[in-house]
Structure 1
Amino acid sequence: MPTVSFRGREIDCEAGATLREVLLDAEETPHNGRSRLLNCRGHGSCGTCAVVVDGSILEPTRRERLRLSFPPHDADSGLRLACQTLVLGDVVVEKFDGFWGQDVDDSARSDPADD
């Protein structure tokens, strides 16, 4: 059974579960501020559930790649849409600031080997 690590919590889920649903079922949210109310409810069109995921997940869907390719997102940011991400094994999830979670702090994610 995969474990999702999010905001200091360990959440167990079934393999193949959608990350957004795992978080919501655990009374967590992949949304910031008002986007908790103003979102597409998992259809992959708004982009407000963008998170960074490290671990075993399915490759991005066409819909997800399309949404993350236009502002305020950047296709090279490493973000994933929680509503389109299927959890296959243990993952660590991080949510950044901004309405869409788009404010990825590059210094926090930089590789020390690059310095």
Structure 2
Amino acid sequence: MPKVTAQGKTFECDRGANLRQVLLQNGVALYNGQAKVINCHGIGTCGTCAVAIEGEVSEANWRDQARRSLPPHSPAQNRRLACQTQVLGDITVTKYDGFWGQGTAIAWTPEG
């Protein structure tokens, strides 16, 4: 089973599990500020679940690519939408600041 490390927690999930669901089920604060209330609930349209990921995950699908190509995101940033990402192997997750997680300052790291 793949291991996910985020916000000082490490937990296992099934291979192919949806990263957004895994993070939320394990008490990780995926959303910044009011985005925890105002988000698309996983359909890939808002972009507030953007995170940086190291490790083996699915290729970015068209929803992920399309949303991250629009402001305030940039395709040049190393981010993915957690709601459109499947965990395929051990990963670490980092969240950045900004309503959409598009900022440059780290909100939390894999270690905490």
Per-residue CA deviations over 1:18-48 (Å, capped at 9, x if unaligned) read: 1000011112132111000100000000000
Runs of 4+ with >3 A deviation: none
Partners of 1:58 and 1:104 lie apart in 2 by 24
Partners of 1:100 and 1:56 lie apart in 2 by 23
Q: 2:12 aligns to what?
A: 12
Q: 2:2 aligns to what?
A: 2
Q: 2:110 aligns to what?
A: none
Percent identity, please: 48
Listed as ranges, the matches of 1:1-115 within 5 Å are 1-105=1-105
SS in 1 for 2:84: coil
5+ residue gaps in structure 1? Answer: 106-115
Q: Tell whether the 8 Å contact from 1:18 to 1:82 is kept in structure 2 after alignment.
A: yes
Q: Tell whether the 8 Å contact from 1:20 to 1:29 is kept in structure 2 after alignment.
A: no
Per-residue CA deviations over 1:83-113 (Å, capped at 9, x if unaligned) read: 00100000000000000010135xxxxxxxx
Q: 1:108 aligns to what?
A: none
- TM-score, normalising length: structure 1: 0.89
5+ residue gaps in structure 2? Answer: 106-112
- The one-letter code matched in structure 1 to 2:83 is C
SS in 2 for 1:83: helix
